[in-house]
Amino acid sequence: MEEIYAKFVSQKISKTRWRPLPPGSLQTAETFATGSWDNEENYISLWSIGDFGNLDSDGGFEGDHQLLCDIRHHGDVMDLQFFDQERIVAASSTGCVTVFLHHPNNQTLSVNQQWTTAHYHTGPGSPSYSSAPCTGVVCNNPEIVTVGEDGRINLFRADHKEAVRTIDNADSSTLHAVTFLRTPEILTVNSIGQLKIWDFRQQGNEPSQILSLTGDRVPLHCVDRHPNQQHVVATGGQDGMLSIWDVRQGTMPVSLLKAHEAEMWEVHFHPSNPEHLFTCSEDGSLWHWDASTDVPEKSSLFHQEMSSHYAAQAALKLLSSSNLPAWASRGGRSSTFLSHSISNQANVHQSVISSWLSTDPAKDRIEITSLLPSRSLSVNTLDVLGPCLVCGTDAEAIYVTRHLFS
């Protein structure tokens, strides 16, 4: 990763998201949004990595990202999603959910729609009203789903003033993140290590399915669904573990991979290249997981060659417990990345195509590459689109690379 550009922006970045490309477009990503947290004044900002061409660009050298416009945001930006090309939905620590509209003509942002009391502990109107942070938001035009520290799930529609559906007390603990599984099903993760699947067709306040990590109740902080295989889900936990789940069967993860040393804040499958996965963590690291190398000899050679280049890089196995891990005998650098896998469904699903679910030890190594040069403060967020990756840190820097797979 040679061309990774850093820019210090004088605000701690909590979220970054690429603007989606118009369907059928051949362009590469060039605009992304960021949200800040823990500042006296927080902002939603739009940045461009595009070439400025004729514009006066002597201030910034090539590859540097430039601020297009920003707007004040009340409270910490807890989550951020593009609703469509122009609209951005932001979740606030004040429990407010706001839709911002970008006007490309004069490069400004404005508030398009707002649900001010989406999340709260004590109801609005009561004298002891207290808001609750909204922790996660996910969009699937025209629907917006939000979750919060109050354990509430809201379903909004962009053209409705009120919530279309609210599930109060959906969870006894804090909900940390949410994603669409198959419409109209959503999946939430909470602070006691559970995944819950909710079906909006069903009335009542009970999830249709609960999956959980056994034992330690390690909080889960992030979740992402495989773009093509909707039953494959990745989550990241407080202990930095990456879990891969198959929601069609079992109540436990298919594999647990020891990854970061502290909270994993975000996990993303590459949208068009889902053999690749990206994670970032409180320990200040940003990792690229590559499960596309499937010839063992080749990849182990590759491993030896690469290990001198990258600090955190290893060939990992997803193993069923009946087999000894290959790295156990090899030792060395890769042994720092233990992989334990729970064999609740050992080797029974030969038909499964996804390399993330496979438990066949003869195949499927995962290459891990650390993308940031030196670690310091937390990497709170990342997003990938095409060959571009953006991430934001508590060290008030935004990193961008446009050549992920070169």
Partner 1 sequence: MEELDGEPTVTLIPGVNSKKNQMYFDWGPGEMLVCETSFNKKEKSEMVPSCPFIYIIRKDVDVYSQILRKLFNESHGIFLGLQRIDEELTGKSRKSQLVRVSKNYRSVIRACMEEMHQVAIAAKDPANGRQFSSQVSILSAMELIWNLCEILFIEVAPAGPLLLHLLDWVRLHVCEVDSLSADVLGSENPSKHDSFWNLVTILVLQGRLDEARQMLSKEADASPASAGICRIMGDLMRTMPILSPGNTQTLTELELKWQHWHEECERYLQDSTFATSPHLESLLKIMLGDEAALLEQKELLSNWYHFLVTRLLYSNPTVKPIDLHYYAQSSLDLFLGGESSPEPLDNILLAAFEFDIHQVIKECSIALSNWWFVAHLTDLLDHCKLLQSHNLYFGSNMREFLLLEYASGLFAHPSLWQLGVDYFDYCPELGRVSLELHIERIPLNTEQKALKVLRICEQRQMTEQVRSICKILAMKAVRNNRLGSALSWSIRAKDAAFATLVSDRFLRDYCERGCFSDLDLIDNLGPAMMLSDRLTFLGKYREFHRMYGEKRFADAASLLLSLMTSRIAPRSFWMTLLTDALPLLEQKQVIFSAEQTYELMRCLEDLTSRRPVHGESDTEQLQDDDIETTKVEMLRLSLARNLARAIIREGSLEGS
Contact set with partner 1 (CB under 8 A): 8-12, 37-40, 59, 76, 78, 93, 121-122, 130, 132-133, 135, 149-151, 169, 171-174, 191-194, 196, 210, 212, 214-217, 238, 262-263, 282, 374, 376-378, 394-397
Q: How far is the CB of 163 from partner 1 (least distance, A)?
A: 20
In the complex with partner 1, which residue's Cβ is closer, 222 or 318? Answer: 222
Tell me the residue length of the chain: 406
Q: How far is the CB of 282 from partner 1 (least distance, A)?
A: 6
Inter-residue contact 311 to 332 (CB < 8 Å): no
Inter-residue contact 357 to 299 (CB < 8 Å): no
In the complex with partner 1, which residue's Cβ is closer, 146 or 194? Answer: 194
Structure tokens at 215: 């034992």
Alpha helix locations (H) across 307-369?
326-330
In the complex with partner 1, which residue's Cβ is closer, 192 or 197? Answer: 192
Q: How many helices (H) and strands (E) does the chain have?
A: 2, 32
Q: How far is the CB of 281 from partner 1 (least distance, A)?
A: 10
Instruction: Tell me the Cα Rg of the chain.
Output: 21
In the complex with partner 1, which residue's Cβ is closer, 321 or 376? Answer: 376
Q: How far is the CB of 158 from partner 1 (least distance, A)?
A: 26
DSSP structure string for 138-174 = EEETTEEEEEETT--EEEEETT-SS-SEEETTS-SS-
Backbone dihedral region for residue 188 (phi beyond 0: left; psi -120 to 50: alpha; all else: beta): beta
Inter-residue contact 291 to 364 (CB < 8 Å): yes
Q: How far is the CB of 40 from partner 1 (least distance, A)?
A: 6
Q: How far is the CB of 284 from partner 1 (least distance, A)?
A: 10
In the complex with partner 1, which residue's Cβ is closer, 42 or 113? Answer: 42
Strand partners, 222: 236
In the complex with partner 1, which residue's Cβ is closer, 260 or 288? Answer: 260
Alpha helix locations (H) across 48-197?
none
d(C-alpha 152, C-alpha 166), whole Å:
7
CA atoms within 13 A on the CB side of 243: 27
Residues whose CB falls within 8 Å of the CB of residue 206, separated by 6 or more in sequence, listed in order: none
In the complex with partner 1, which residue's Cβ is closer, 93 or 320? Answer: 93
Q: How far is the CB of 91 from partner 1 (least distance, A)?
A: 11
